[in-house]
Amino acid sequence: MSGAPNLPEGFTDTFTSRYIDTGEVRLHAVTGGDGPPLLLVHGWPQTWYAWRMLMPALARDFSVVAVDQRGIGLSGKPQGAYDTGTLANDLVALMDALGHRRFALYGTDVGMPIAYALAADHPDRVDRLVVSEAPLPGISPSPPLFLPPLLNERLWHLAFNQLPTVNEQLVTGREEIFFGAEFDASAGTNKLPAEAVRYYIDTLAAGPDHLRGSFEFYRAIPTTSAQNEQRKTRRLSMPVLAIGGAESSGEGAGNTMKLAADDVQTLVIPGCGHWVAEQAPGELLAALTAFLAPYRESTDV
């Protein structure tokens, strides 16, 4: 957590930054709190830090695990194997190492397809699933090539990030331009604090593996799509809460999850863009508290 700006007061008294070797990759996670386990999976181009504003309150009821995905932040950045099946297996191994057999799970942005893969591939491990602000490759309809200008500004990276090399060549040395534009366009009217954006960009610019790792999820989308074609034949039975920002995907996450799950609740947060945990932490915390209450109460000792 060293260097992370403007953490909530007392954050480092509750949470510990640690490395966990899963046998396949070394993952970085920030853990703390008491209660049943809750795994938080960030989006692109963020890190565990995206959850900082929610974590102290969540830690009063849950053992919180905020992970850096493979390829991101302080986690390992091996070559290849960034499909959601592999990323989900990483997280199962992480929770095994931490002693958590069954847990609640929240994934946002690219964390949403990772969380979906974990719930679909390991349904015995996930009690309740929360997702936000993403499509599911191979399940959601693909966006058209030509989009209205405002939507194109938010989504053009989906194709660009999949390129094998030229994206890294173009972005290296221009991380502030590229990622700054991404954070700005997806925020809507309520922009993220400049110091938070700067922290994310500095992490991404720390070395070539950081930039490569940020693109690897997208390069594996064809593999993930093929996996999801199989997963969607096994509909999720656990309760799902699907969330969208009113100034971003809105009902999109909910409509997507209804294609893959039987018990889906939806929430659209007014005045919020894509970065729901940072733009609307109060509203999100209230929704999580209500949705996860049966899980928390059923595991109280």
- Give the pLDDT of residue 300: 59
The one-digit pLDDT tens for each residue of the chain (301 residues) are 878 999 999 999 999 999 999 999 999 999 999 999 999 999 999 999 999 999 999 999 999 999 999 999 999 999 989 999 999 999 999 999 999 999 999 999 999 999 999 999 999 999 999 999 999 999 999 888 899 999 999 999 999 999 999 999 999 999 999 999 999 999 999 999 999 999 999 999 999 999 999 999 999 999 999 999 999 999 999 999 999 999 999 999 999 999 999 999 999 999 999 999 999 999 999 999 999 999 999 975 4
pTM: 0.97
Structure tokens at 34: 């008491």
Predicted local distance difference test score (pLDDT) of residue 301? 42
How would you write the chain as a 3-class SS string? CCCCCCCCCCHHHHCEEEEEECCCCEEEEEEECCCCEEEEECCCCCCHHHHCCCHHHHCCCCEEEEECCCCCCCCCCCCCCCCHHHHHHHHHHHHHHCCCCCEEEEEECCHHHHHHHHHHHCCCCEEEEEEECCCCCCCCCCCCCCCCHHHHHHHCHHHHCCCCCHHHHHHCCCHHHHHHHHHHHHHCCCCCCHHHHHHHHHHHCCCHHHHHHHHHHHHCHHHHHHHHHHHCCCCECCCEEEEEECCCCCCHHHHHHCCCECCEEEEEECCCCCCHHHHCHHHHHHHHHHHHHHHHHHCCC
